Amino acid sequence: MGLNLNDKKAVVAEVSAKVASAQTIVVAEYRGIQVGHLTQLRAKARAQGVYLRVLKNTLARRSVEGTPFASLADAMTGPLIYSISEDAVAAARVINDFAKTNDKLVIKAGNYAGKSLDKAAVAALASIPSREVLISQILGLMLTPVSSFARGLAALAAKKGEGAAPVAEEVAAAEEAPAA
């Protein structure tokens, strides 16, 4: 059963709200995928905060009209699933990871911050580490010189401590010798 005009307006409004706050949209053809596999894809998307939805292409075109994602309208043909995320790489990662395990999911196009992406560019975007991983890598790089300096000081102190121990033993032996 088709949607009436009010339902269509509601869908366009909902998707437009998601698109307004999105950084990335990835479009993939899902022809021939079993329902169970789509359910798994939706669960993975939900876990990563990605809005994933099968939409009528005309409604999707209306939703991206007048936004930086308007260039996707040319790729909106056939049975498509739309992956929309506020995170720059989450939408691409969810679709790309699933496409690796299921060859029936075909990435058609994407858009990141107003720039059109082809299949290879979506895969490249998906390979970028998440924000948390990048922050931890930067902090690790920042801590490396400090920890190296601290290890150097500890080694120097240990070396001086080794040299001081024999000297202390000689002084103690010299003090005991005259008394004997």
Which tens digit of pLDDT belongs to each residue from 132-147? 888 888 888 888 888 8
Q: Is the confidence at residue 180, as pLDDT, over 60?
A: no
> Quick one: average pLDDT of 142-160?
86
> Quick one: average pLDDT of 55-70?
87
Beta-bridge partner residues of 84: 25, 51
CA distances to 12, 15, 50, 68 from 65, rounded to whole Å, are 10, 11, 21, 8
Classify domain 5-128 by CATH architecture.
Answer: 2-Layer Sandwich (3.30)
Q: Percent of the chain, pLDDT > 70?
A: 88
Question: CB-hemisphere CA count at 13 Å for 124?
Answer: 9
> Quick one: average pLDDT of 66-72?
86
pLDDT at residue number 163: 56
Banded pLDDT at 63 (limits 50, 70, 90): confident
Which carries the bigger pLDDT value, residue 168 or residue 15? 15
Average pLDDT, rounded, for the chain? 83
pLDDT at residue number 170: 58
* Among candidate residues 39, 28, 138, the one with its CA nearest the CA of residue 83: 28
Other CB atoms within 10 A of residue 4 CB:
9
Which carries the bigger pLDDT value, residue 88 or residue 99? 99
The bridge status of strand 106-112 relative to strand 115-117 is antiparallel
Which carries the bigger pLDDT value, residue 118 or residue 3? 118
**E runs forming strands in 30-154:** 51-54, 80-85, 106-112, 115-117
pLDDT at residue number 1: 57
Kindly state the DSSP code that residue 65 receives in the 8-state scheme.
T
pLDDT at residue number 27: 92
Q: Is the confidence at residue 176, as pLDDT, over 70?
A: no
Domain ranges of the chain: 5-128, 129-163
* Contact status, residue 28 vs residue 83, Cβ threshold 8 Å: yes
Beta-bridge partner residues of 26: 83, 110
